[in-house]
Structure 1
Amino acid sequence: MAQLSPILLIDAPSLYFRAYFGVPESAAKTTHGQPVNAVRGFLDMLAQLVRTRRPGRMVCALDHDWRPAWRVELLPSYKAHRVAPEGGEVVPDTLSPQVPVILDVLAAIGICAVGATGYEADDVLGTLAVTESAPVEVVSGDRDLFQLVDDARPVRLLYVGRGVAKLEACDEAAVRVRYGVPANRYADFAALRGDPSDGLPGVPGVGEKTAARLIERYGGLDGILTALDEPGSGFAPGLRTKLDSARDYLAVAPKVVRVATDIPLPKLATALPTAPAEPERLLELAQRWNLAGSCRRLVDALAAND
């Protein structure tokens, strides 16, 4: 039986935020002066991914809830620093209006985009990573998604921390080289180390090397916490005190970091088109938003991917 072509699971918020900050507003505006830098950059990223990865399927995952209540209930500091004074996420004023344009263009081309009420894009990606036929390639600049890497399926993370042009295709060996832990222990590792970008304080005084060493020795947080209760388990007195003081935090933090893999999603049409689903609609959007070049590059990439 012929192997399926890869499915590209796109962390859409990760990519369009990167596009917004990577493409100057002054270089991408409509004739009426409206910025479309995030739209252009995002579409160009998709075009490059189609050209270089040659997927047969694609889904763009969306944040329907960027700070789910169930995660905040577990850890009130979760993304608290990113909450705007009037509520909602702090997002640049000129980025928010561009997101609906991105979704309109994706719909006109026929690329699947989906979110889930009460969940982040990460959770959509996690669920698709375990339910879609492999091979799976997850595209994101979010380190939390290293936990999805699984050689057995296989699932890889195409990490775009340095941009799509310099993406790193990460398997389990790459995760271990990078962090010193197995991919399936990344959530425990992140909880110990902390992550200021998500409001995870971590255990004071425990950095990446100590976190990796503890996981290597005890197998994960459960093993670490069990060993804390055993006399003579090898913890230096200072480290024992730090971990013991952080028990309440460590009981909930991994659940916050861990990506959901079982959320309800509708049946999706994941096949990547080779031509626009609604060519006249796409032409109208390209003209209205001054996106002719980016739309053409993506359509050409799709046609060449046939």
Structure 2
Amino acid sequence: MAETASKKTEKTEEKRPRLMLMDGHSLAYRAFFALPAENFTTATGQPTNAIYGFASMLANTLRDEQPTHFAVAFDVSRKTWRAEEFPEYKANRSKTPDEFKGQVELIGELLDAMRAPRFAVDGYEADDVIATLATQAEAEGFEVLIVTGDRDSFQLVSDHITVLYPTKGVSELTRFTPEKVQEKYGLSPSQYPDFAALRGDPSDNLPGIPGVGEKTAAKWINQFGSFAELVERADEVKGKAGQNFRDHLESVKLNRRLTEMVRDVELPKTVADLAREPYDRTAVALVLDTLEIRNPSLRERLLAVDPGTAEETAPAPAAGVDLDFTVLGAGELAPWLAAHGDQPLGVATVDSWALGTGNVSEIALAAAGGAAAWFDPSTLDEADERAWAAWISDPERPKALHNAKSAMRVFPEHGWTVAGVTMDTALAAYLVKPGRRSFALDALSVEYLGRELAPAATADGQLAFGADDTAEAEALMSQARAVLDLAAAFDEKLAEVGARDLLHDVELPTSALLARLERHGIAADREHLEAMEQQFAGAVQQAVKEAHASVGHEFNLGSPKQLQEVFFGELNLPKTKKTKTGYTTDADALAWLAAQTEHELPVIMLRHREQARLRSTVEGLIKTIAADGRIHTTFSQTVAATGRLSSTDPNLQNVPVRTDEGR
């Protein structure tokens, strides 16, 4: 009979709807420190490590827990009811890292695309929102899972509320049930805020009691049964610890009020409103593409937990995208151009200029009527070659390209002049929205055409295919058609913002000029640069010797920790700005120390860093000198929202001009 009852209970439990609540700020911050920002940054410099880590954990947790309902709560600011009651609440926390700023907002964009409800309530923390929803859901018969890095949430644990607590970055979660809380702390979940009030919380700047750690706090709660009873019988607590408790009684009472989560926050949605909905898959793809998160595993995991089906949620194909794919062999390009070359064509290429060869391996063309062609330039016969060279150089034959400058730079290596470019979809996207983070073709196709292109793309939006695979050739032809359709869409967008003339009269001619500059290159005197590199290297070594002599022993001038020990330990110089790792020794701090003290080390260190930077700059320039003795940098018109040019490989803006040596 007992076995039957047990099975009946299990069956009932399976029918419970399951709500999963996530503490957005807590988890994003953990993800930020779990993944190095330098490995997760877009071409425009936007860090994405917190977004990537959060999205990965989100995908895994949704897959493993399979909730029927879901929501994420975020903090609004540190101006909460707790801060009003206790102004020092969280006041000890360091400034939010610049690399983290903005990533929470972008996580919100991803959640919106996934149609996942998110909450942020003025005056309250995410904890309070989660406590309110968890309490309501449990009363309505839900099983609740709370994913958070805040231990205060353990007070919410019950037979139907479980906390999933990250114990290793954001990749491993420990399940805190009532039994687990008891095992870990020797207390029930309802006693946890009593325990936390006595222990204090350095991360929230809540003071503890001198001489009272976790063991003593747990012992007192178990001995007296509750915090209220402990306060009532405070005189019975023995020893020095008991006296310390009585001396700090008011601050401990305050801790207890602040530690208790609010369970009745007024919210715009009820638990029933949190039922999972199918993604807006077009929007999800756009967010990931814009953030240049192209990892296929992460994408697959996120899409795999979409509550809807791919058929129901995939973007509908734009009208008129059925293509007549034609893979052209020798002797077939000239007739194709004769049939279609009088109308505007979209052009897409795969080239290996980035490898330094300037070898165009594939070209695809697409016409508005649906005709599309792919060819390998190395297979052209004489008639094809003449027809192609005439068409690509004819200013009367309109052409649309994505990042046309790339073709303008590479095609002349094959004897092909590029003319008649009436639309560059990358430049047009920039003029329509200069502040966007990505101008990749696949991202633009999703946003403006509702059409997903093949996912494997390089930084400039070109797709990297092998020449033998028909499916890959068709993908490049689809890309050419996307360029053509985007050209029409952007022509209207440019008219709306009054930027048509700016594209045709300024940006496209500038693009052609930059292509010539890149191709021609900048003359470089290798011998002179190598002599400069040796000069700066010698100056660096001299500065090292002087620094060692100034303190009487050797130390690593590149180690912040050793510099801190020398400056503020051995030399006892004035303290600079405090950071997480100690007192800063950045350039501003060194300049301040040089002005505050007569010791020579700050001045030597400034000189050492300047010479080291100059040496590094010269080394970088030497490495980029090509076989023709010139530096062929790549200019970009779409990186800076202000309209200024930028350059890469090398970045010529890194060449210092403010000092005599730099000039």
Task: Output the CA distance in 1 between the equivalents of 2:183 and 2:168.
Answer: 18
Matched with 1:87 is: none
Look up the SS of the partner of 1:158 in the other structure: strand
Q: What is the CA-CA distance between 1:166 and the residue it aligns to?
A: 2.2
Look up the SS of the partner of 1:216 in the other structure: helix
Look up the SS of the partner of 1:302 in the other structure: coil
Q: What is the CA-CA distance between 1:148 and the residue it aligns to?
A: 0.7
Look up the SS of the partner of 1:31 in the other structure: coil
Q: CA RMSD in A?
A: 2.0
Matched with 2:185 is: 179
CA contact (8 A) 1:51 1:305 kept: no
Task: Output the CA distance in 1 between the equivalents of 2:84 and 2:79.
Answer: 10
Task: Output the CA distance in 2 between the equivalents of 1:295 and 1:259.
Answer: 36
Matched with 1:261 is: 263
Moved more, 23-32 or 218-227: 23-32
Map 1:11-160 → 2, pairs under 5 A: 11-68=23-80, 70-82=81-93, 90-132=95-137, 133=140, 134-151=142-159, 154-160=160-166
Q: What is the CA-CA distance between 1:164 and the residue it aligns to?
A: 4.0
What are the Cα deviations for residues 239-282 of structure 1, in whole angstroms up to 9, with x where unaligned? Answer: 33111111211222111011111110012531223x31x23222
CA contact (8 A) 1:50 1:305 kept: no
Matched with 2:215 is: 209
What are the Cα deviations for residues 56-100 of structure 1, in whole angstroms up to 9, with x where unaligned? Answer: 1111011023351x31243333111126xxxxxx21101111111
**Cα distance change, pair 304–169 in 1 and its aligned pair in 2 (3 A):** farther
Look up the SS of the partner of 1:167 in the other structure: strand
Aligned pairs, how many?
A: 291
Matched with 1:86 is: none
Determine if the alignment matches structure 1 residue 298 to structure 2 residue 306. no
Matched with 1:194 is: 200
In structure 1, give the amino acid aligned to 2:112: A
Task: Output the CA distance in 1 between the equivalents of 2:76 and 2:47.
Answer: 23
In structure 1, give the amino acid aligned to 2:163: L
What are the Cα deviations for residues 179-223 of structure 1, in whole angstroms up to 9, with x where unaligned? Answer: 111111111101101111110111111111111010001111111
Task: Output the CA distance in 1 between the equivalents of 2:275 and 2:299.
Answer: 19
Q: TM-score, normalised by structure 1?
A: 0.89
Q: What is the CA-CA distance between 1:228 and the residue it aligns to?
A: 2.0
CA contact (8 A) 1:159 1:169 kept: yes
Task: Output the CA distance in 2 between the equivalents of 1:163 and 1:112.
Answer: 24
**Cα distance change, pair 228–26 in 1 and its aligned pair in 2 (3 A):** closer
CA contact (8 A) 1:190 1:202 kept: no
Look up the SS of the partner of 1:76 in the other structure: coil
Task: Output the CA distance in 2 between the equivalents of 1:295 and 1:11.
Answer: 22
Task: Output the CA distance in 1 between the equivalents of 2:79 and 2:166.
Answer: 22
Structure 1: 5+ residue stretches without partners: 84-89
**Cα distance change, pair 305–167 in 1 and its aligned pair in 2 (3 A):** farther
Q: What is the CA-CA distance between 1:301 and the residue it aligns to?
A: 2.5
**Cα distance change, pair 164–25 in 1 and its aligned pair in 2 (3 A):** closer
Task: Output the CA distance in 2 between the equivalents of 1:65 and 1:257.
Answer: 18
Task: Output the CA distance in 1 between the equivalents of 2:175 and 2:116.
Answer: 23
Matched with 1:221 is: 227
In structure 2, give the amino acid aligned to 1:271: A
Look up the SS of the partner of 2:191 in the other structure: helix
In structure 2, give the amino acid aligned to 1:297: R
Task: Output the CA distance in 1 between the equivalents of 2:123 and 2:114.
Answer: 27
Task: Output the CA distance in 2 between the equivalents of 1:115 and 1:64.
Answer: 6
Which structure has more RCO (C-alpha within 8 Å, separation ≥ 6)? Answer: 1
Task: Output the CA distance in 1 between the equivalents of 2:281 and 2:200.
Answer: 47
Look up the SS of the partner of 1:7 in the other structure: strand
Moved more, 177-186 or 155-164: 155-164
CA contact (8 A) 1:61 1:124 kept: yes
Q: What is the CA-CA distance between 1:158 and the residue it aligns to?
A: 0.7
The structure with the larger Rg is 2
In structure 1, give the amino acid aligned to 2:292: N
Moved more, 194-203 or 58-67: 58-67
CA contact (8 A) 2:31 2:170 kept: no
Q: What is the CA-CA distance between 1:26 and the residue it aligns to?
A: 2.3
Matched with 1:271 is: 275
Q: What is the CA-CA distance between 1:305 and the residue it aligns to?
A: 10
Look up the SS of the partner of 2:104 in the other structure: helix
Percent identical among aligned pairs is 35
Q: What is the CA-CA distance between 1:295 and the residue it aligns to?
A: 4.0
Task: Output the CA distance in 1 between the equivalents of 2:200 and 2:290.
Answer: 44
In structure 2, give the amino acid aligned to 1:16: A
**Cα distance change, pair 161–64 in 1 and its aligned pair in 2 (3 A):** same
Q: What is the CA-CA distance between 1:178 and the residue it aligns to?
A: 0.8
Determine if the alignment matches structure 1 residue 168 to structure 2 residue 170. no
Matching residue within 243, 247, 254 for 1:241: 243
In structure 2, give the amino acid aligned to 1:57: H
